[in-house]
């Protein structure tokens, strides 16, 4: 018995074939993974002294700034010397917790300062200081892969009313409290009615209750 099979033949234009080949090559390439938040440092350094609540010097003369965080007084508001000194002391204690290493280091600025994630004794220094309420988040380009972890650490401190979230140095502001804080970094809770950007600045308008 003779068997027959129907075969559909479709003409493929050269351009279609090239596009199909390009798609096949693209599909075979490994997916590009986004940068991950480091859990350990890779560059060992030796702590020398603190320079501020978020920066320190190493024994070989390198100036390091902690990525993604800010200390009291670094947001544009004035704080007492005792508050600034306490932030420096807290940073020094965290850096002395064990062998110090750096990760996710940014490009040195024109003054030679480097922004990085820091680990002391295996503990993430930024996470430690955020959770204790000594610092708060200020995400930047270097810390972007750790943005979620930074915000989670800050949330834990805020919900537990730890450190400066208890004494009022850090606070969740209302829109009405912003008028006297122009030029400062604030966390605001309210209903946003509009948001826009103009000449590199972002603007938000909050709904206000009428009394």
Distance (Å, whole) CA 98 – CA 96: 5
Cβ neighbourhood burial of 202 (10 Å; 0-12, 13-18, 19+): exposed
Tokens of 83: 């508050």
Question: pLDDT tens, position by position, for the chain (211 residues)?
Answer: 444 444 444 444 555 666 666 666 656 666 666 789 999 999 999 999 999 999 999 999 999 999 999 999 887 777 889 999 999 999 999 999 999 999 988 888 888 899 999 999 999 999 999 999 999 999 888 899 999 999 999 999 999 999 999 998 887 666 665 565 565 556 666 677 777 777 666 655 555 554 4
* Contact present, 153 and 126 (Cβ < 8 Å): yes
* Contact present, 136 and 170 (Cβ < 8 Å): yes
Tokens of 111: 């003054």
The CA-atom distances, in angstroms, between 6 and each of 3, 11, 12, 42, 181 are 10, 16, 19, 63, 78
* Contact present, 127 and 121 (Cβ < 8 Å): no
The CA-atom distances, in angstroms, between 110 and each of 6, 62, 102, 107 are 72, 13, 20, 10
Structure confidence at residue 173 (pLDDT): 66
Helices (H), 29-161: 81-95, 125-131, 147-160
- Domain extents for the chain? 43-167, 173-206
Q: Which residue has the tokens 């380009």?
A: 141
The CATH number given to 43-167 is 2.40.50.90
Structure confidence at residue 8 (pLDDT): 43
């Amino acid at each position: 018995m003779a068997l027959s099979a129907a075969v559909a033949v479709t003409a493929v234009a050269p351009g279609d074939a090239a596009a199909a080949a390009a798609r096949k090559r693209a599909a075979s390439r490994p997916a590009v993974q986004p940068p991950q938040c480091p859990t350990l440092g890779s560059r060992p350094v030796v702590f020398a002294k603190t320079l501020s609540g978020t920066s320190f010097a190493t024994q070989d003369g390198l100036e390091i700034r902690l990525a993604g965080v800010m200390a009291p007084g670094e947001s544009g508001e004035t704080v007492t010397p005792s508050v600034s000194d306490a932030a420096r002391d807290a940073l020094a204690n965290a850096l002395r917790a064990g062998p110090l290493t750096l990760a996710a280091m940014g490009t040195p600025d024109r003054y030679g300062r480097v922004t990085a994630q820091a680990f002391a004794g295996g503990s993430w220094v930024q996470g430690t200081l955020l959770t204790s309420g000594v610092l708060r988040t200020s995400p930047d380009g270097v810390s972007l892969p750790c943005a979620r972890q930074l915000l989670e650490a800050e949330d834990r401190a805020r919900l537990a009313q730890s450190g400066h979230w208890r004494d009022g140095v850090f606070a969740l502001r209302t829109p009405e409290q912003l008028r006297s804080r122009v030029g400062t970094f604030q966390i605001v809770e309210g209903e946003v009615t509009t948001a826009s950007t103009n000449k590199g600045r972002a603007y938000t308008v909050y709904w206000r209750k009428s009394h």
